[in-house]
Structure 1
Amino acid sequence: MRDNAMPRRRFLTAAGALGLAGAAGVVATTSTACATTSSAAPQPAPAMHHAAGLMTLIGSYTSASPAGRGLEVATRNDAGALEPSGVVDGVPDASFFAWSPDHKYLYVTNEIVPNGTITAVDLSQHHPVVLGSQPSGGAGPTHISAHPSGEFIFTAHYTDGTVAVHRRNADGTIGENTDLVKHPGAEPHAHQVLVDPSKQWVVAVDLGADAVFVYAFDTATGKLTQHQHLELPAGTGPRHLAFNYERAYLLAELKSEITVLDWDLDAGRFTPGQVIGTREPDASGENFPAEIAITRDAKFAYASNRGDNNIATFAITGEGLEFRGTAPTGDWPRHFALDPEQTSLYVANQRSGTITRLTRDPNSGALTPTEDVYECPSVAAITFHG
């Protein structure tokens, strides 16, 4: 969910007391730009400057202050810097991305409260064409992923703690809603939903319920059936996890730590193991980790610290994770992405409204800040079309 100056702990308490349906600072109105459905005619691609380089898609909050630009396109030049290319109309409050398995279509959460939507964008011709939007099925859509078969899309809703399933049509548009499940608990806040490496199970991480839910998924009906409810210590606030085949690394927003989970692919069950902090030993003050990712060679993991404003590096070992240090970023690193070559890491710093680039040593995993800064108010997420 979007984050502003109110710390998450205080917001959870305040929202429960007031019975609010939105996150801290969220404007509870629906943008008219988001009122289209998949039955609408595709919107023509905006005029853009197509510089040579890697296409980069950037999401930001249009209803925030300062207002972001929604979905925009940049290009990464040969030196690694991002250059603006254009803004895609009709995709407000673009807060997270998911690619279709063939990497031709992008799906975007429009994190509008209370009635969020998800938008399909055709990039098969290497320029964005908005195919339309559909109601996400819940309130405050904050994460989206595609089934490896390409036939379904999953959306996690922070505000009402639900997970929705939609069919994906052959033309890339978003089809019917096939299921909507609500997590148990007084204040569930689903923050991530994804398919496990075996492609058998759907996993949802819930920050408010302090839990990870494993679902069996019926690809004929598009229905979810709860299989495991992994409870974590109260106040953990799990946000995102990253799979490493038979392991997963679960990042806790409220405790600044990562729990290493053993994953039984056949049984569809997690078993908690090592717990390791994300901060430097002398770090102080409030800190709220946001994103976690592992490298393609499964040798390193990275996690962002909002508050300390850095990216933590971990070596992946046979026993778990080994903390290797941190590299500074801008203010409030909400999301980051490795480029396709995995030689740089690009960080979306929400409060400073910047994307900063850190170079990466593939042997040591070490990150080094560069002078490359891309300006984007209220930036939320970044991905590459490569």
Structure 2
Amino acid sequence: MSTTGTGQRAYIGSFTSEGGAGITVADVDARTGALRVRHSTDAVANPSYLTLAPGGDILYAVSETDDGAAAAFRVADPDSPPVLLGEPVPVHGADPTHLALVDGQLLTANYGSGSVTALPVLDDGRLGEPTAVLRHEGSGPHSERQEGPHAHAVAPDPSGSWVLAVDLGADAVWVYEPAGPRPHREVRLRAGTGPRHLAFHPRGDRAYVINELDPTLTVCRWDAASGALEPLGETPVLPRGTDVETFPSEVVVSADGRFVWTANRGHDSIATLALDTPGDRMELVTTTPCGGHWPRDLTLGPSGRRLYASNERSGDVTWFDLDPSTGVPTRGGSIEAPAASCVIFG
């Protein structure tokens, strides 16, 4: 499948409106973690976030535009660029920024309209017309960014029984039952934090919410039996006294539950935090330059031994080797990727 001999590929999303290639396919070197670009397609505008079907042969992308759409691509042939399956399907929401496959449907988080859209996945992998558009309500104290709801991420919980939608504008996380989907409960976080994304502890009973408008992580207890999310506290992701305006973008948890990493735009760094055994408390170990400017996304590589930062404004994807004892990343290399917004592996 790959000249690197790993059988592993990386898919890089980017903003075509900012000069990005759209969806870029790269080989992954198992020994070094290096990426080597093979193909790209700009068949969809602004495919800023991507996800793969479980079989790895279908790739889904949002189209982050005012009109908002989602699209499916066939990626089974490693020697050819991704092939668009049908036309992009409107999500009836503006600026979809994130997506997830849940219970036979694709869910999108629509930032501009503060909503979550459900689209059925058809037998051939294509997407059907939306079956539900769930609109959030609420606002926050930041008048320019929180004048109304802004759904920024949607993710299934580890049990597969629930879907959590993180809303930056409303300072809230919505919990949904996948069937429908149907609203289950709304959890308010501290006003003005601007929650953006979340990641679960590998044990499945803790969730970590990265806040964009206040450079902190909110630690939450998660009860899959009842679908209850309980905020426990916050931890800064920047050293004390940092005066650089910073907008954190992503949070990643190690497979063994010992470390958490965040991408910090503005400060242009990756924060390494050490977790205690219960996963309730964490300590900032250090911050490391992200290798570029404006890290919009941060992803753990296939081996779990590397991190990949998608640096949107410097136009690159940079990878880092992780120290197994401290969790601290060391830069390994990078490739050019204009307006990079995410990278996933399959």
TM-score, shorter chain, exceeding 0.5: yes
- Give the corresponding residue for 1:143: 98
- Give the corresponding residue for 1:28: none
CA distance in 2 between counterparts of 1:106 and 1:321 reads 35
Matched residue type, 2:90:
P
- Quick one: which of 121, 126, 129 aligns to 1:173? 126
CA distance in 1 between counterparts of 2:11 and 2:341 reads 11
Contact kept? 1:59, 1:380, Cα under 8 Å: yes
- Give the corresponding residue for 1:228: 185
Contact kept? 1:50, 1:85, Cα under 8 Å: no
CA distance in 2 between counterparts of 1:225 and 1:338 reads 31
Tell me how many residue pairs correspond in the alignment.
327
Alignment of 1:323-342 (within 5 A): 323-329=284-290, 330-342=292-304
| Greater Cα offset, 252-261 or 225-234 | 225-234
Alignment of 1:126-275 (within 5 A): 126=78, 127=80, 128-132=82-86, 133-147=88-102, 149=103, 151-186=104-139, 187-218=148-179, 223-244=180-201, 245-275=204-234
Residue 86 of structure 1 deviates from its aligned partner by 1.6
Residue 238 of structure 1 deviates from its aligned partner by 0.2
Deviations 1:219-243 (A, max 9, x none): xxxx122221111222110000101
Matched residue type, 2:59:
L
Matched residue type, 2:83:
V
Deviations 1:280-320 (A, max 9, x none): 22321200000111122222111111011111111221232
Pairwise CA RMSD: 1.6
CA distance in 1 between counterparts of 2:245 and 2:325 reads 32
| Greater Cα offset, 354-363 or 127-136 | 127-136
SS of residue matched to 2:129: strand
CA distance in 1 between counterparts of 2:127 and 2:281 reads 39
1:118 is the counterpart of 2:77: no
CA distance in 1 between counterparts of 2:40 and 2:184 reads 42
CA distance in 2 between counterparts of 1:278 and 1:314 reads 8
CA distance in 1 between counterparts of 2:258 and 2:53 reads 26
- Quick one: which of 41, 45, 69 aligns to 2:21? 69
Residue 362 of structure 1 deviates from its aligned partner by 2.4
- Quick one: which of 12, 28, 42 aligns to 1:58? 12
Query: Structure 1, unaligned stretches of length 5 or more?
Result: 1-48
CA distance in 1 between counterparts of 2:241 and 2:138 reads 35
Residue 50 of structure 1 deviates from its aligned partner by 5.7
Residue 335 of structure 1 deviates from its aligned partner by 0.4
Alignment of 1:8-19 (within 5 A): none
CA distance in 2 between counterparts of 1:247 and 1:320 reads 11
SS of residue matched to 1:160: coil
Residue 193 of structure 1 deviates from its aligned partner by 0.8
SS of residue matched to 1:176: coil
Show structure 1 runs of 4+ deviating over 6 A.
Answer: none
1:345 is the counterpart of 2:307: yes
Matched residue type, 1:234:
A
Matched residue type, 1:79:
T
Residue 211 of structure 1 deviates from its aligned partner by 0.6
SS of residue matched to 1:212: strand
| Greater Cα offset, 226-235 or 163-172 | 226-235
- Give the corresponding residue for 1:109: 62
CA distance in 2 between counterparts of 1:271 and 1:89 reads 41
